[in-house]
């Protein structure tokens, strides 16, 4: 409204085109929203709607069959007295803290190897990317379970070196390393992004550094790392969020039970069991919302701290 005087004044000075332009802009917006409509409808009906209803359900006792009963914050307060819940938090945090950095380190290392110009690079790139394409599938989880079982290839392979761990699948101490290996093995997606980022780093920087006598380590920390930091930040954020949501492989490897001895009771798996095995949808919804909030806070912390180590080109620093 405050703008209308200036607008009208301008229209008097520069004659006609201004109002026509704004009318066209309105029409553009309408067309834009029309084209967005299928996505918007999907977003509202399939994402926003369910999220709001699950927010409501998280304050109720809802068993799927009977109308939800309002119980206020009870679900949220009982969560923290639930030992299985606390266990699932522990398992998931462990997985995120160890799995994500290792996966990113593997992705970056392989990306740097693949960045040099050699013959057959295309093949290697595809070969290293392939596991992440099939990694989330049911079949890989089944293969993984067989590989790490009693007398599986891993058990037998380690026995050659005199390491007798037995099957990893049934051993509560070994299931977490097994899951971390599974996620590290799927480094393909962040690797491709790292590779794209590495290609953007001007070669002159390295040449100049070489002239000044910088070795590879120095070049990595003083050129590669800062130049790549926006990409590292992006990958770290995505992989962390992704790691919190691990479900399919845990469900399959533990037969949907989170065993042995609760060592694979990931957050989402416990959420699913609470909802669909125990019919406690309200409780499950509360868990889902807590996860949303926690992941949101972690994202926020990442963004806040990023200023000190992420450098965008064109930054004054």
Asked if residue 12 lies in contact with residue 18, where contact means CB atoms within 8 angstroms, the answer is no
State the residue for tokens 């109720």.
60
Minimum distance from CB of 243 to another protein (Å)? 12
**CA neighbor of 176 nearest in space, from 248, 256, 93:** 93
Q: What are phi and psi of 98, to 5 degrees?
A: -90, -40
A 10 A CB-CB count for 210 gives 12
**CA neighbor of 233 nearest in space, from 221, 225, 244, 222:** 225
From candidates 70, 150, 301, 309, binder to another protein by CB under 8 A: 150
Which range of residues in 7-15, 20-28, 53-61, 198-206 is near another protein by CB under 8 A? 53-61
From candidates 17, 19, 26, 49, binder to another protein by CB under 8 A: 49
Helices 225-244 and 188-200 pack at an angle, to 10 degrees, of 160
From candidates 205, 248, 294, 298, binder to another protein by CB under 8 A: 248
> Residues 193-222 vs another protein: string with x where CB under 8 A?
------------------------------
- Distance in angstroms (rounded) separating the CA atoms of residues 92 and 308: 28
Asked if residue 59 lies in contact with residue 72, where contact means CB atoms within 8 angstroms, the answer is yes
From candidates 99, 280, 286, 310, binder to another protein by CB under 8 A: 280
Joined together, the tokens standing for residue 127 give: 């070969």
297 near another protein, rule: CB under 8 A: no
User: Which of residues 112 and 181 has its CB atom nearest to another protein in the complex?
Assistant: 181
User: Which of residues 65 and 123 has its CB atom nearest to another protein in the complex?
Assistant: 65
293 near another protein, rule: CB under 8 A: no
From candidates 268, 286, 290, 310, binder to another protein by CB under 8 A: 268
60 near another protein, rule: CB under 8 A: no
């Amino acid at each position: 409204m405050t703008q209308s005087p200036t607008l009208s004044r301008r229209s008097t000075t520069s004659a006609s085109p201004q109002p026509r332009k704004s009318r066209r802009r309105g029409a553009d917006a309408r067309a834009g929203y029309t084209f967005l409509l299928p996505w918007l409808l999907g977003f509202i009906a399939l994402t926003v709607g369910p999220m709001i209803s699950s927010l409501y359900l998280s304050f109720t006792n809802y068993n799927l069959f009977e109308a939800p009963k309002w119980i206020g914050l009870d679900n949220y307060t009982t969560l923290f007295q639930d030992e299985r819940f606390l266990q699932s938090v522990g398992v998931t945090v462990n997985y995120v803290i160890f799995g994500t950095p290792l996966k990113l380190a593997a992705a970056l290392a392989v990306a740097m190897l693949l960045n040099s110009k050699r013959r057959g690079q295309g093949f290697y790139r595809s070969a290293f990317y392939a596991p992440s394409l099939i990694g989330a599938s049911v079949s890989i989880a089944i293969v993984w379970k067989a590989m790490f079982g009693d007398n599986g290839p891993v058990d037998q392979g380690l026995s050659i070196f005199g390491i007798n761990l037995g099957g990893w699948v049934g051993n509560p101490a070994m299931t977490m390393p097994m899951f971390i290996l599974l996620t590290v093995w799927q480094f393909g997606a962040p690797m491709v992004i790292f590779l794209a980022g590495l290609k953007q780093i001007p070669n002159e920087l390295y040449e100049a550094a070489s002239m000044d006598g910088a070795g590879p380590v120095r070049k990595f920390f003083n050129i590669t790392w800062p130049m790549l930091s926006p990409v590292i930040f992006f990958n770290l954020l995505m992989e962390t969020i992704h790691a919190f949501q691990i479900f399919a492989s845990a469900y399959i490897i533990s037969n949907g039970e989170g065993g042995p001895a609760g060592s694979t009771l990931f957050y989402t798996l416990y959420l699913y069991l609470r909802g669909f095995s125990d019919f406690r949808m309200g409780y499950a919804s509360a868990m889902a919302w807590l996860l949303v909030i926690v992941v949101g806070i972690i994202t926020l912390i990442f963004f806040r701290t990023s200023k000190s180590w992420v450098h965008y080109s064109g930054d004054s620093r």
